[in-house]
Amino acid sequence: MSPQIRVAHLCKYYQVHEKEPGLVGSLRAFVARKYRTVKAVDDVSFDIEAGEVVGFLGPNGAGKTTTLKVLAGLLYPTSGHVTVMGFVPHKREHAYLKQFTLVMGQKQQLLWDLPAVETFLVNQAIYEIPKAEYQATLKELDDLLELGPLMKKQVRKLSLGERMKCELAAALLHRPKVLFLDEPTIGLDVTMQVRIREFIAEYNRRHGATILLTSHYMADVTALCDRIIVIDKGKLLYDGDFRALIERVAPYKILRLQFEQVVSCEQLAPFGKVDTCDGLTAVLHVPRDRAPEVAAQLLTQIKVDDVTFEDPPVEDIIRQVFAGKVAGLGEAPAQAPLEAAHLR
């Protein structure tokens, strides 16, 4: 069975005009324009199976949104081959357009001066959704997102979080099988971010939708994705299991300790790398495979009031990947995308 999404050696290049400043630069640009090639996406390949929720990560300008636009059929690839559900996106076949959705946190489809329900009705007509199915889907979305008080308010009078809920509802009325979500929680407060994550997870559980998610909030990725794809400067850096990347980049656990009486840093040194120590609290870095053993030794040899295990912050790990500080990231033989962490 072929993957739901297949991207093979995708390239998307742009010719960008470069002009020197001032009048002289303008005259030169008029008679002899200079261009440079920008490789927004450069030889990217990955497969995504039906029902997967995959995090698509990278710094600003990495090529994430460009890739999503190619998958949605908004951009024509320079080279390479892309299929989604067996369709070639840039052909924009009617049958394909009715089976996916693209939600961009910085863009909106809602009609600004009209209530959100008006956009819902427009989408019902565009996607030719039967009335009974439309009403059933709207009720389901209302139950999940609590849309009732919002649908009849002018969109311009909604808060950002309220508008985002309505944007998601409008995008999902036709029950798409594939979701491309580009920063769906951008600008939202912590509470609303959690609500949106819970909704995305529940939609995936109920409908088995395939989801490709970009986000700069690592909490979105850790809550929703077991697998991540990391891209930077148009190049694929990593494609594999999120947990495996964490264990590879940070092969240690963080032990946070509270003591019943003052303990010196010298007393803690044999147990691991001492990050901080103020006498009554300390933070140690210990190898992952020895963390339980070290904790047991601490509890028997030192009067510990409390101990907690933590993984290093995900943001720090991803930052290291972006900065190229992780040895071995690069080309490797292609493997099945669901095998344990693999590199390309």
Report domain extents, the chain.
Answer: 5-99+176-246, 252-310
Which CATH fold would you assign to the domain 252-310? Answer: Alpha-Beta Plaits (3.30.70)
Q: Determine the pLDDT at residue 213.
A: 96
Identify the helix (H) or strand (E) that includes residue 117: helix 116-126
Structure tokens at 114: 């009209």
- As a whole number of angstroms, the distance between CA 278 and CA 237 comes to 39
Q: Determine the pLDDT at residue 328.
A: 59
Q: Determine the pLDDT at residue 340.
A: 33
Q: Determine the pLDDT at residue 341.
A: 36
CA distances from 263 to 8, 141, 278, 287 (A): 57, 55, 8, 22
Query: Closest by alpha carbon to 54, among 178, 206, 196?
Result: 178
- Residue 40 makes CB contacts below 8 A (sequence gap 6+) with 12, 13, 14, 63, 66, 234
> Which residues are bridge partners to 69 per DSSP?
none
- 3-class state of residue 35 by DSSP: strand
Backbone angles phi, psi at 37, to 5 degrees: -90, 125
| Strand residue runs (E) in 218-315 | 227-232, 235-241, 252-259, 273-277, 281-287, 304-310
Give first-to-last CA distance, the chain, whole Å: 22
CB atoms within 10 A of CB 158: 18
Q: Determine the pLDDT at residue 102.
A: 94
pLDDT per 10-residue tile (average), the chain, 344 residues = 93 89 81 88 97 94 94 96 96 95 88 93 95 95 90 92 92 96 89 91 95 91 93 92 85 88 89 90 89 87 86 81 66 37 34
Contact predicate 79/41, CB 8 Å: no
Angle of helix 131-145 relative to helix 160-172, nearest 10 degrees, comes to: 150
Query: Closest by alpha carbon to 197, among 170, 218, 228?
Result: 218
Contact predicate 188/160, CB 8 Å: yes
Residue keyed to tokens 């030889």: 43
Identify the helix (H) or strand (E) that includes residue 9: strand 5-18
Q: Determine the pLDDT at residue 339.
A: 35
- As a whole number of angstroms, the distance between CA 171 and CA 168 comes to 5
CATH code at 5-99+176-246? 3.40.50.300
Q: Determine the pLDDT at residue 327.
A: 56
Same CATH fold, 252-310 and 5-99+176-246? no
Identify the helix (H) or strand (E) that includes residue 55: strand 53-57
Q: Determine the pLDDT at residue 77.
A: 96
- As a whole number of angstroms, the distance between CA 60 and CA 75 comes to 19
Contact predicate 6/43, CB 8 Å: no
